[in-house]
């Protein structure tokens, strides 16, 4: 059956900068009476010094603890009582907050975000309380789950050489215990300034009205000295790094591999994004076909390109059956990587990767919430491109850079980066009670 011509799609946007340096990016769409407000701060775990790991994330929790005109707990109730949802997320690269509201409550969301950007109020009791909440979050997400520590924390600590990149977002509980109210206040002054943030609004609103509200609520929040830039550069590796970890909660073995790869927007990174789809995306992808289907050795294969503003990682994680060996699994992964280094990728694989990337823009990668069909997805994409790249136009133009990647470029990037000396290999041994055999 004939494949029809691609239908064009375009996200409209307007970028403004306030006197205090706050960048504001707006994207109107009136199809649903919903509006998304995103505030993206240029601070993440990468900014944490030794002895203060986990602080950026703990601070994210503090942002819900009250400001001059919004008491503790009221941030949630103002948003939800008016029909909205909200959340915050911290990564190594950034901290992001969002509200999705019925569109007639846009000004409320702006007021809430402005009030905490201007006048966050923290006290010892709230700090202590949120420290306990974060400790439970770590027990829930990491300490009590099989593979979570090895795959989500240890692998990164081994794969990166620069502390700024290597340490985890959740951080160490000892470091969190050492954090003081003064740390919280200093962190707020340094990083939560209008000139260190991007505000993005997408959905059902009128641009002039929205801008007026933005100026009214954010316009006179004073700017601060720009924070010191973080050095996230990574030295080149000359030898492969290998480690073994026994996971007392796991009952199956697993192998995790991470290769160091270049930062966002380096030319090779687009080729590696295509490689990601060739190896991992869908059941016809090479590693699933080989390890799960043909060799029947793995339960599942995941991984791919993990983008960062600075150097990133290309990872692979395979949980495999107890009667297989680490050597067998590694040999199979190596064989697929080497095949691409020698013969490149097929035209059909390239086409598949291109179409998958085009479709992912709408589907979103995390269960749909963040795809470009939602106001939140559009606001987030615009905010990322504005803060990281200084260019919201990329929301429309970057696609072409993926579509332009050639088979040769994929082969070259694989040959250059997916080599043993550039990688970390972690063997995870099951330490839980052996599985019972009937």
Partner 1 sequence: MKTMVPVVTTPPPPSALRPLVLPRREEFVTAGGLRLILVEDNRVPFVTLRLVVRVGSAHDPADLPGLAGLTAHCLTQGTRKRRSFQFAKAVEELGATLEAHANRDFTTVSATVLAENLSTLLQLMGETVLTPAFAPDEVELAKENTIQTLRYQRTQPNFLARERYAQVVFGKHPYSRIAPTEQAVSEMTPDTLREFHDRYYAPDNSLLVVVGAVDDAQLQKALDKAFAGWRPQGVRHEAHEPPPSRQERTVHIVDRPGSVQVNLLMGHLAPRPNEPDFLPLEVVNTALGGRAGSRLFLNVREQKGFAYDVSSHLSEHREASSFSMSAQVRPEVVGEAVEGMLKEVETLRRDGLTANELDSAKNYLNGTFSIRLSTQGGIASEIAAIEMLELPKDSMETYRERVQAVTLQTVHDVVRGRLSAECMAIVAVGEAEQIRSSLEPFGKVEVRPAM
Least distance in Å: CB of 58 to partner 1? 12
Tell me which stretch binds partner 1 (CB under 8 A): 105-113, 172-180, 185-193, 389-397.
105-113
Report CA 234 to chain centroid distance, whole Å: 19
- Decide: is 252 part of the binding site for partner 1 (CB under 8 A): yes
Candidates 28, 107, 183, 207: give the one binding partner 1 (CB under 8 A).
107
Long-range contacts of 336-343 (CB under 8 A, 24+ apart): 336/279, 336/286, 336/287, 336/290, 337/414, 337/418, 340/275, 340/278, 340/410, 340/411, 340/414, 341/411, 341/414, 341/415, 341/418, 343/411
Least distance in Å: CB of 282 to partner 1? 4
Cα–Cα dist 128/176, whole Å: 10
Q: Are 289 and 279 in contact (CB under 8 A)?
A: no
- Of residues 218 and 259, the one with the C-beta less far from partner 1: 218
Written as six digits, the tokens of 154 are 């240890």
Q: CB neighbours (10 Å) of residue 92?
A: 23
Candidates 47, 168, 332, 374: give the one binding partner 1 (CB under 8 A).
374
- Binders of partner 1 among residues 217 to 236 (CB under 8 A) are 217, 219-220
Least distance in Å: CB of 226 to partner 1? 22
H/E segment holding residue 210: helix 207-218
By C-alpha distance, which of 206, 181, 174 is closest to 59? 181
Written as six digits, the tokens of 411 are 């082969």
H/E segment holding residue 334: helix 326-343
- Of residues 177 and 240, the one with the C-beta less far from partner 1: 177
Query: By rule CB under 8 A, what string of x and - marks binding of each residue 253-282 to partner 1?
Result: ----------------------------xx
Report CA 101 to chain centroid distance, whole Å: 23
- Decide: is 26 part of the binding site for partner 1 (CB under 8 A): no
- Binders of partner 1 among residues 300 to 329 (CB under 8 A) are 319, 321
Least distance in Å: CB of 323 to partner 1? 10
Tell me which stretch binds partner 1 (CB under 8 A): 31-39, 46-54, 264-272, 324-332.
31-39
- Binders of partner 1 among residues 52 to 81 (CB under 8 A) are 68-69, 72-73, 76-81
Cα–Cα dist 227/21, whole Å: 14
- Of residues 45 and 170, the one with the C-beta less far from partner 1: 170
Least distance in Å: CB of 229 to partner 1? 30
Candidates 123, 240, 246, 299: give the one binding partner 1 (CB under 8 A).
299
- Decide: is 204 part of the binding site for partner 1 (CB under 8 A): yes
- Decide: is 91 part of the binding site for partner 1 (CB under 8 A): no
Cα–Cα dist 379/382, whole Å: 5
- Decide: is 342 part of the binding site for partner 1 (CB under 8 A): no
**Strand bridging mode 423-430 / 241-247:** parallel
- Of residues 76 and 231, the one with the C-beta less far from partner 1: 76
Ranges of beta strands (E only) in 94-240 are 95-102, 197-203
Least distance in Å: CB of 420 to partner 1? 29
H/E segment holding residue 343: helix 326-343
- Decide: is 84 part of the binding site for partner 1 (CB under 8 A): yes
Query: By rule CB under 8 A, what string of x and - marks binding of each residue 144-183 to partner 1?
Result: xxx-------------------------------------
Q: Are 270 and 339 in contact (CB under 8 A)?
A: no
Candidates 17, 190, 224, 251: give the one binding partner 1 (CB under 8 A).
251
Least distance in Å: CB of 311 to partner 1? 29
DSSP letter for 147, please: T
Tell me which stretch binds partner 1 (CB under 8 A): 51-59, 99-107, 161-169, 408-416.
99-107
Total binding residues for partner 1 by CB under 8 A? 104
- Binders of partner 1 among residues 417 to 436 (CB under 8 A) are 432-433, 435-436
- Angstrom CA distances, 239 to 181, 313, 370, 384, 418, stand at 43, 16, 39, 34, 13
């Amino acid at each position: 059956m004939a494949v029809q011509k691609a239908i064009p799609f375009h996200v409209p946007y307007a970028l403004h900068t306030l006197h205090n340096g706050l960048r504001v990016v707006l994207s109107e769409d009136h199809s649903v009476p919903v509006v998304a407000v995103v505030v993206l701060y240029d601070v993440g775990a990468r900014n944490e010094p030794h002895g203060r790991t986990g602080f950026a994330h703990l601070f994210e929790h503090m942002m819900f603890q009250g400001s001059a005109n919004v008491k503790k707990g009221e941030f949630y109730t103002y948003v939800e009582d008016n029909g909205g949802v909200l959340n915050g997320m911290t990564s190594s690269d950034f901290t992001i907050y969002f509200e999705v509201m019925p569109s007639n409550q846009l000004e409320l969301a702006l007021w809430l975000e402005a009030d905490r950007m201007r006048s966050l109020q923290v006290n010892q009791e709230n700090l202590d309380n949120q420290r306990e909440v974060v400790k439970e979050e770590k027990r829930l997400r990491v300490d009590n789950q099989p593979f979570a520590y090895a795959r989500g924390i240890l692998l990164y600590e081994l794969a990166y050489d620069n502390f700024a990149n290597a340490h985890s977002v959740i951080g160490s509980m000892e470091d969190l215990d050492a954090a003081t109210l003064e740390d919280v206040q200093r962190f707020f002054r340094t990083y939560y300034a209008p000139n260190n943030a991007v505000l993005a609004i997408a959905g059902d609103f009128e641009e002039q009205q929205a801008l007026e509200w933005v100026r009214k609520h954010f316009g006179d929040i004073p700017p601060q000295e720009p924070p010191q830039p973080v050095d996230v550069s990574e030295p080149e590796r000359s030898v492969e790094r290998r480690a073994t970890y026994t996971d007392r909660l796991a009952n199956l073995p697993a192998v995790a591999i991470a290769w160091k790869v270049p930062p966002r927007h380096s030319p090779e990174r687009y080729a590696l994004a295509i490689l990601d789809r060739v190896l991992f995306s869908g059941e016809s992808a090479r590693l699933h076909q080989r390890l799960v289907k043909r060799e029947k050795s793995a339960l599942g294969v995941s991984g791919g390109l993990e983008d960062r503003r600075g150097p990133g990682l290309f990872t692979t994680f395979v949980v495999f059956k107890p009667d297989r060996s680490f050597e067998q699994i590694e040999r199979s992964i190596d064989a697929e990587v080497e095949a691409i280094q020698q013969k490149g990728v097929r035209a059909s694989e390239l086409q598949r990767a291109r179409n998958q990337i085009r479709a992912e823009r709408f589907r979103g990668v995390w269960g749909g919430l963040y795809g470009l069909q939602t106001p939140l997805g559009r606001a987030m994409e615009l905010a990322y491109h504005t803060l990281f790249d200084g260019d919201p136009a990329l929301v429309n133009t970057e696609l072409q850079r993926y579509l332009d990647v050639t088979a040769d470029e994929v082969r070259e990037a694989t040959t250059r980066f997916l080599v043993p000396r550039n990688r970390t290999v972690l063997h995870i041994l099951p330490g839980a009670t052996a599985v019972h055999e009937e």
